[in-house]
Homo-oligomer: A and B are copies of this chain.
Amino acid sequence: MSLIHELTLGDVLGEHRRGRPLDVAAVDGAVRLTYPALDARVNRLAGALAGAGVQRGERVLWLGQNSFRILELLLACGRLGAVLCPANWRQTSDELGFVLGDLEPKVVVWEESEAVAQARAESPVKAAWVQAGLEYEEFLAAHPDDEPSAPVDGGEPVLALYTAAFDGRPHAALLSHRALIAHAEALLHQREMRDGFAFLACGPMFHVGTTMFVLATFLLGGKNVFTPAYEPQEVCRLIDAESCTQAFLFGPMIDGLVAANADGEYDLSSLRFVAHSPAWDAMITVDDSPWCSSKMGGYGQTEVGGMLTFLGLAPGGAGPAGRAGTLAAIRLLDAAGREVPAGEVGEICARGWSVFSGYHNRPELNEAKFRGGWHHTGDLGRREPDGTLTFIGPKLRMIKSANENIYPAEVERALKSHPSIADAAVIGVPDERFGQTVKAVVVLAEGASETEESVIEHVRGEIASYKKPRHVAFVAEIPKKGYTPDYDALDAAHGGGNYPGSS
């Protein structure tokens, strides 16, 4: 793309510095940055990162809770043509070690945590480690606020998000400036985000669901409010104090806010959001934008920047996933790459401006994902007679618990690492509160003896706690289809169900 048509995250920030000199870009605790102040810090940070060896294409890793520093680091990486990866901070030291080795970051910015300290001590990867807080401030203070002068190609990646652990380990999806800006623009439209929009980032920023709204708010020149994690009382306080228009919220989180604000201490009327319950609807301003007027969203995944389809483009449509966003095209393909007719199930494949650039360091997987010029999502779907899409489910199974994606393969890997466990398979069982919870079906090694508690405890030590089984069934044998567990048989025998897309 020629220079005259280029637009990077840095260009957006440069425009806001000029066009919104008085507007607040970021709020986080006592930190309050206007767009010019953010721009100056981003330039200092870019200088500091370059000084630490971060060049075009290199990676910077964030290991911590939500922070305005994630936005700063992303924009600073953007100015250098480098990539920021905000990773899940609550992973085990083994998982963190995998990320370090896979990503090979030049700089790691981290918040105090035992697992992070252990991963750092054990990792052979050489990186500059900068602790968020004073050390971080000193790191950037030493550099001038001149904008780096080398031009950046908007087609190059700037954000990496780990996802898709379908084969046991996650892969870092790379998203370019162009993909992030295009997706943000589509959100501006669907969410009808207007001048003055303020977003409260109370969901985890290593997840695209929160980050896509931070980026849309940034593209608009709005205000992003960061809070380390979802804490109901504090979320209520921030919505009130900062007049937030939206926050990252769904079912159980909303119930938490209703309970925390039962006495009406906080004024939440600035929030223009989805109807949920009479008490909630009375606290907020129920919004009728296409994003908010039905069940939120549509179908998406990290690899398309967030959303691929929108319900708001198909009100009253037959397919519960809506229609393709305006900057994307979809084909439902069979295993041979041929389009399946309407009404038949095929793999959801996508092309367009917001599609990712592949996974970091996975050339073979990327070739397979992008075969025939279409991104293969790994999910199955069907076109209804009115052209709307129904999401059928992952080609490989996925469990969705409290809005987190859990891949059976990853939990199975953790289970099998226990010396007493000879074989294991994982299913999702319906759960009233979380949608699904994880159930492990386990074959013990000859002579071994374990309890439900000891198995769960083992997994908790291996992977992030939210992925651990809540239930364990001990069996003599796992039914198989070829080399893989026969999940349908397991579901039937052990009460599996409520998988994403199955409703």
Contact = CB atoms under 8 A, between A and B. Distances in A.
A5 B353 contact: yes
A155 interface: yes
Contact of A329 (B11, B188, B315, B353): B11
A181 to B, nearest CB: 7
Nearest to A369: B4
A11 to B, nearest CB: 5
A192 B324 CA distance: 18
A386 B18 CA distance: 9
Q: How large is the interface on A (under 10, 10 to 19, 20 to 34, 35 or more residues)?
A: 35 or more
Interface stretch (A232-240, A370-378, A438-446, A477-485): A370-378
Interface stretch (A19-27, A59-67, A421-429): A19-27
Interface in A347-369: 351-353, 355
Given A326-B220, A388-B19, A195 B314 contact: yes
A214 to B, nearest CB: 15
Contacts of A219: 326
A306 interface: no
A15 B185 contact: no
A408 interface: no
The A interface, classified by DSSP as helix, strand, loop or mixed, is: mixed
A375 B181 CA distance: 21
Interface string A391-412: 0000000000000000000000
A181 B290 CA distance: 20
Interface of A: 1, 3-7, 11-12, 14-15, 18-23, 155, 178-179, 181, 184-186, 188-189, 192-196, 219-221, 290, 312-315, 323-324, 326-331, 342, 351-353, 355, 370, 373-375, 383, 385-389
B18 A330 contact: yes
A164 to B, nearest CB: 17
Contact of A312 (B12, B194, B324, B355): B194
Contacts of A373: 3-4
Nearest to A317: B195
B5 A387 contact: no
A138 to B, nearest CB: 31
A102 B334 CA distance: 48
Contact of A4 (B195, B331, B374): B374
Nearest to A185: B185
A329 B385 contact: no
Given A1-B155, A189-B189, A195 B329 contact: no
B185 A326 contact: yes
A21 B351 contact: no
Contact of A192 (B181, B192, B352): B192
A154 to B, nearest CB: 9
B20 A351 contact: no
A387 B355 contact: no
Given A5-B178, A188-B326, 4 more contacts: A7-B328, A15-B329, A20-B323, A23-B387
A281 B385 CA distance: 39
A396 to B, nearest CB: 22
A386 B370 CA distance: 45
